[in-house]
């Protein structure tokens, strides 16, 4: 058996292989309610052989959406529709996951094909919040969060985890990456606070860790919690790998099962050495130095490349994004290329190469 197609057990959840669908925003919901596009989009990746299908960044509150068209899971109506999607994903042999998110100062922005920058109130936008009143370049200035705002974020993540459980999701990922709210608290470049949520690393990590504990308290003990981080801001004085290792150790202690290792997103114009599997070394370093399981993501496109990352111990799982947009059946095709005999859906058996 190849390493990529070996099973993985996370708490009580058995996954058929190490290929995960990375959360990918679709920017096409109304009032946070997912639609049939998500059913087909996520369902086809489950049909295609992925082990864990993670739904896009799903806001824990209306003000936490990246765009007015983002999905949410802050009310029962949204959870009911997500439940239909999760059931189909599970019926195809995959596990259903959801990424819980709050965009902070990067909220209330246009969907990529609609424009750039902040959406004004007359077009459905809203005033954003952040650890400090420091705008992301090109976006409207956020309001600095007070104590009540911070408590609301913790409560919102906990409530979203409860709704996710009721919807039938089997894994939940907390978004702490790409310059969104919890990453904004972690990085000294965006967090200028002088209270207990700013200054030292321990203080900057306080809210993210409170969110983890709130989610873990609502999430079944036998199901996993993942966290996506940006392992580095790619700029001097920003968040870096050493801080990520310490955070990973704290996340492990708080009940997190996998750290999904991405990077960047906090600073506009950072010089990022993009290339094949360019973020896999972060997954390897965090795995080795903290002892927690990791996921590698970022320009992983070839089956042999993914197999090597798992076989060499750099990561425990591979998260795929754009390559799965191009080919929803990448896992099935990768198995053939690697010489692995993986069952195809019975409806498609007659098309399986022999």
Active site residues: 180
The tokens 């993670």 sit on which residue? 54
Kindly tell me the burial class for residue 338, based on how many C-beta atoms sit within 10 Å of its own C-beta (0-12, 13-18, 19 or more): middle
d(Cα 307, Cα 312) in Å, to the nearest integer? 8
Rounded to 5 degrees, φ, ψ at 67 are -135, 160
- Non-local CB neighbours of 101 within 8 Å, separated by 6+ positions: 57, 58, 59, 60, 64, 66, 175, 180
């Amino acid at each position: 058996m190849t390493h990529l197609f070996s099973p993985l057990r996370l708490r009580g959840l058995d996954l058929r292989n190490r290929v995960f669908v990375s959360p990918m925003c679709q920017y096409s919901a109304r009032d946070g309610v997912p639609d049939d596009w998500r059913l087909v989009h996520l369902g086809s990746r489950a049909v295609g052989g992925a082990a864990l299908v993670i739904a896009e960044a799903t806001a824990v509150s209306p003000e936490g959406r990246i765009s007015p068209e983002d999905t949410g899971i802050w009310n029962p109506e949204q959870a009911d529709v997500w439940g239909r999607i999760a059931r189909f994903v599970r019926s195809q042999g995959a596990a259903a996951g959801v990424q819980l998110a709050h965009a902070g100062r990067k909220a209330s922005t246009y969907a990529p094909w609609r424009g750039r920058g902040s959406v004004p109130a007359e077009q459905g936008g809203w005033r954003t919040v952040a650890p400090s009143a420091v705008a992301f370049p090109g976006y409207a200035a956020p309001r600095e969060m007070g104590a009540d705002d911070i408590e609301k974020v913790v409560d919102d993540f906990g409530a979203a985890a409860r709704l996710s459980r009721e919807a039938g999701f089997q894994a939940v990922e907390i978004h702490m990456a790409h310059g969104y709210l919890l990453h904004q608290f972690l990085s000294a470049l965006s967090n200028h606070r002088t209270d207990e949520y700013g200054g030292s690393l321990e203080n900057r990590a306080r809210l993210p860790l409170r969110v983890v504990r709130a989610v873990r308290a609502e999430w079944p003990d036998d199901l996993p919690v993942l966290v996506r981080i940006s392992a580095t801001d790619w700029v001097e004085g920003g968040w870096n790998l050493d801080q990520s290792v310490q955070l990973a150790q704290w996340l492990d202690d708080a009940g997190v099962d996998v750290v999904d290792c991405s990077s960047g997103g906090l600073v506009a114009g950072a010089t990022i050495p993009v290339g094949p599997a360019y973020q896999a070394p972060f997954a390897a370093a965090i795995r080795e130095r903290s002892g927690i399981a990791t996921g590698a993501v970022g320009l992983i496109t070839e089956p042999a490349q993914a197999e090597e990352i798992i076989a060499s111990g750099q990561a425990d799982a591979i998260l795929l994004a754009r390559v799965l947009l191009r080919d929803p059946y990448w896992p099935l095709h990768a198995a053939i290329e690697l010489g692995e005999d993986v069952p195809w859906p019975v409806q498609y058996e007659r098309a399986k190469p022999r």
